[in-house]
């Protein structure tokens, strides 16, 4: 559930202005490069976890909806970076990444 994800790391906003852990390194590098090139970087949610089975549906939906709400607030945007692993499963969602991508695409057009 939420607690096991929180133990591994949940970061919000500009938390990746420093590398939090190995999975967040790509976000750290992207932020550095974007800012160096003069781009405004708006971050949302970064969640890292060890493999641990199926996530509770409401936990995934809470994270997804938080990302979508913050994306809507940041619109219009030139680029969206989602650092997805590809192995995340939640109750009722065999493909959480595909679900998130479909929702993000619906927001940005």
- For residue 11, list its beta bridge partners: 46
Give the residue extent of every domain in the chain.
2-108
pLDDT tops 90 at residue 99 = yes
Nearest to 45 by CA among 11, 19, 79: 11
Nearest to 83 by CA among 37, 38, 35, 21: 21
Predicted TM-score of the model (pTM): 0.79
pLDDT value, residue 5: 52
Q: Which residue has the higher pLDDT, 51 or 17?
A: 51
CB 43 within 8 A of CB 31: yes
Distances (CA, A) of 82 to 3, 53, 96: 22, 22, 13
């Amino acid at each position: 559930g939420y607690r096991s994800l929180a133990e591994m790391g949940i970061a919000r906003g500009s938390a990746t202005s420093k590398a939090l852990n190995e999975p967040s390194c790509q976000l750290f590098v992207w932020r550095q490069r974007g800012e160096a090139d003069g781009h405004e970087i708006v971050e949302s949610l970064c969640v890292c976890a060890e493999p641990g089975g199926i996530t509770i549906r409401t936990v995934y939906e809470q994270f997804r909806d938080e990302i979508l709400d913050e994306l809507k607030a940041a619109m219009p945007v030139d680029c969206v970076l989602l650092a997805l692993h590809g192995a995340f499963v939640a109750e009722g969602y065999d493909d959480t990444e595909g679900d998130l991508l479909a929702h993000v695409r619906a927001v940005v057009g």
